[in-house]
Structure 1
Amino acid sequence: VLDRTLYGPDVIRGGQQQNSVPDSATLTVLTRIIPELPPKELIARLEQLVADVNATDETMQLALHVSAYDDAVVTPKDSQLIQLIQRLVPDYLPEPLAAPAIAVSLGTDASQFIKANPNLELAVIGPGNATAHKADEYVERQAYLDMVGLYEAIAKQYLQ
């Protein structure tokens, strides 16, 4: 669905000064899981990669530490929830194509809800603009209020 797993080398630490080799270094990576590469398979591949690299040089002491992982969350485009959202969006959001049913690789609480109820239909939808994840991130007040109205309409119709 998403073509490939995405990762970001988010935090790199190592060394005390520029004229000496660090005694250790760490790389912290957040990986966005896709349905085609489940986390257990990705972890197995990474463990093999670490073992292969360590085997090439006896001074290598790489280690993999996985702090947490979740499976990808997928709701079919033709699900009742997605169809309802797409039907209601034009009444609440002025933008054209305001709620396309697309696959995205991002972090949400959706995986926790799926753990509690594997049959749950989920959609990630909210107000926003091009400022997401930036220092000056914001959302217009009216966009927020419009989204609240959409949430209410979705809940009333979906849960009736």
Structure 2
Amino acid sequence: MYPDKKVTMTARLDARVLTRELLAYNTINPPGMERACARHLGALLETAGFTVRYHEYAEARTSLVATIGGSDAKAPLCFTGHIDTVPLGAAPWTKDAFAGETDGDKIYGRGSTDMKGGVAAFVAAAVELAPHLARGPGLVLVITAGEEIGCEGARYLADKKLLGRAGAIVVAEPTGNFPYVGHKGLCWFEVETRGVTAHGSMPEVGDNAILKMARVIDDLGHFHFPVESHPVMGKPTMNVGTIRGGINTNSVPDAAAITIDMRTVPGIDHGHLCKSLQTLLAPRGARVRQLVDCAPLYTEPQTEWMQTVFEDCTPFLEGRPTPKTITFSTDGSDLKRGFGGGVPAVILGPGEPTLAHQTDEWCSLHRIEQSVDLFRNIARRWCDA
């Protein structure tokens, strides 16, 4: 039976209860306002013996970095997750999005799958292991604000050099407890065209920015990425996601804009990508501006640590995992950069990838409990090796 009580510090923190507590914090981004949720987690970790530091990149946009143990010989293992969520959407929910309602094995709420269930699981595992981590490499937990819109919290921690050391990273995003070896990079661009307004009955007097944009979109169909494919990730992609222009029907529009979502693979430099777009579209008088920049995340599957993670995951799956990458981007690429690069990373958590951002989002309670066991095993192997 699912317990209906407040979390207390015991030998094993119940991750299901903690998930419910985290869901009660409305951290929809925008505006995020993750401070109260981060402080709640920080208090639990401090009680367990972690050293906790809070970092805000804007008012109440709070991330935390919690550490325990430490060794000069080996860097700690990092677990990471974000506590902001996406909006509820236009469709009505049949469950309270912030109450952690349960139905059988499912716990409902915005962020249950993406990814407060994952955060609760690694915090519970870390609290249980805390008494044994004073010596050795230990753990660093990075719990971030602002992931859903451009990984702002993780980028701030990396840019300000607030992360310290880590030897490997577990990103507890929703994967159904399947270990993914990486994800594509993410680049968002805005492309603008300008014209001259005029009365709609005299279009020859004006310069139509929307017609210019139509030619821009046609040109994008001829764009070629510098790397055509990756053996695990597949091909890079491009999608025109939004378009706007004009103020009324009977005027020649003097401005138009589109936004472009590009998903990239290793070997594609995002700065060069922006310059290539500008070169392609400059003859149309278009201006390109980069909005979001998240690098690809990839660890070679044959890496020794990745193979041990595959081994730890096997009992929870239908067989030994094969190398795969996830479709969405994560904080992992910024954190990897902040830890100095070259750090192996795996994306692994209890949530269901297909339920992220959905109405009536839910997470399996059984999977959350499995994740606690899985994360504990991964941490023990790292710290005892």
Question: Is the TM-score greater than 0.5?
Answer: yes
Count of equivalent residues: 151
TM-score normalised by L of structure 1: 0.79
Contact 2:294 2:329 in 1 (8 A): no
Provide Cα deviations, 1:77-130, integer angstroms capped at 9, x if missing partner: 011231111101133x2x425743213442101111121121211011122333
Which residue matches 2:322? Answer: 100
Structure 1 residue 154: Cα displacement: 0.9
Q: What code does the residue aligned with 2:297 have?
A: V
Residues 1:152 and 2:383 are matched in the alignment: no
Residues 1:70 and 2:294 are matched in the alignment: yes
Q: What code does the residue aligned with 1:50 have?
A: L
User: Tell me, which stretches of 5 or more residues in structure 1 are unaligned?
Assistant: 55-61
Return the match for 2:259 from 28, 32, 45: 28
User: Tell me, which stretches of 5 or more residues in structure 2 are unaligned?
Assistant: 1-229
Which consecutive aligned stretches of 4+ in structure 1 deviate over 6 angstroms post-superposition? none
Return the match for 2:356 from 108, 132, 140: 132
Question: Larger radius of gyration, structure 1 or 2?
Answer: 2
Q: What code does the residue aligned with 1:4 have?
A: K
Contact 1:15 1:25 in 2 (8 A): yes
Point out which structure has higher relative CO (alpha carbons under 8 A, 6+ apart).
2
Overall identity of the aligned pairs, in %: 22
SS at match of 1:25: strand
Return the match for 1:119 from 342, 351, 374: 342
Structure with the largest fraction of strand:
2
Structure 1: distance between partners of 2:273 and 2:336: 20
Structure 2: distance between partners of 1:26 and 1:98: 47
Structure 1: distance between partners of 2:376 and 2:250: 60
Structure 1: distance between partners of 2:249 and 2:383: 61
Structure 1 residue 159: Cα displacement: 3.3
Structure 1: distance between partners of 2:367 and 2:289: 41
TM-score normalised by L of structure 2: 0.36
SS at match of 1:64: strand
More moved, 101-110 vs 111-120: 101-110
Contact 1:131 1:138 in 2 (8 A): yes
Which residue matches 1:141? Answer: 365
Cα RMSD for the two superposed structures: 2.3
Contact 2:265 2:296 in 1 (8 A): yes
